[in-house]
Amino acid sequence: MTREHPLSQTSVKKPLTTLQKNTKKKVTVRLKNEVEYKGKMDNVDSYMNLIMTDAEELHDGKIIANYGRVIVRGNNVLFIRLENEL
């Protein structure tokens, strides 16, 4: 008697793979301290450390700073949202 796992019939998306496939695209990164960065994700590693360019720092939805390049340590990240390209 074989038992199939419900996940075996659906495609499983791995977060790191999804991020790696979406480098050079716009993302929003929210940190655990509620600060957000919006910009282009240039690179991501296995620890989900990010390098972003043309980044804006937002606090309470307001831009408070512009940066050419930002490096974000993965353990500070609450979530990463891929921006839709129109």
For residue 86, the model assigns a pLDDT of: 45
What kind and span of H or E run contains 53?
strand 50-59
CA pair distance 81, 40, nearest whole angstrom: 12
For residue 11, the model assigns a pLDDT of: 67
Domain coverage including residue 76: 15-82
> In the chain, which residues have pLDDT < 70?
1-11, 85-86
CATH (domain of 25): 2.30.30.100
Count of the separate structural domains present in the chain: 1
Q: Is 15 helix (H, G, I), strand (E, B) or coil?
A: helix
Beta bridge partners of residue 66, listed in sequence order: 56
The pTM of the full predicted model, rounded to 2 decimals, is: 0.79
| Domain-embedded: residue 5 | no
Token pair in block for residue 42: 């240039």
Nearest to 24 by CA among 47, 2, 44: 44
